[in-house]
Amino acid sequence: MKNGTCPECKSSEVYYGKVRERHGGLRDEHQVVIPTDADNLYADTYICIACGSVRLFLDEQSMKNAAAILPRSKNWNQVS
């Protein structure tokens, strides 16, 4: 989806929120906050208006934080 093509329906009608400054740093106005035991993770939201598919992708800093937080989390379990 990040490349502008929906993986579900192959449409190019994919949209992403615009970036604006908030709380002293750049954040996407449509960024989703995912609470964890230790810190929040931030996910960018992509929407396909052709089929309604929605995908969330962690931002770069949240990817690093997730690798440290989630394996020890009480509220998140690895899918097996």
Measured between its terminal Cα atoms, the distance across the chain in Å is 25
Q: Residue 5 domain-assigned?
A: no
Contact 12, 5 (CB under 8 A): yes
Does residue 3 form part of some domain?
Answer: no
- Split into its structural domains, the chain has a count of 1
- Structure confidence by residue, pLDDT tens digits, 10-57: 999 999 876 554 555 555 566 777 878 778 888 888 999 999 999 988
Give burial (CB, 10 Å; 0-12/13-18/19+) of 64: exposed
Q: What is the pLDDT of residues 51-76, one digit of tens each?
A: 999 998 888 888 999 999 899 888 88
Domain extent for 49: 14-72
Task: For residue 69, count CB atoms less than 10 angstroms from its CB and return exposed for 0-12, middle for 13-18, buried for 19 or more.
Answer: middle
Q: What is the reported pTM?
A: 0.71
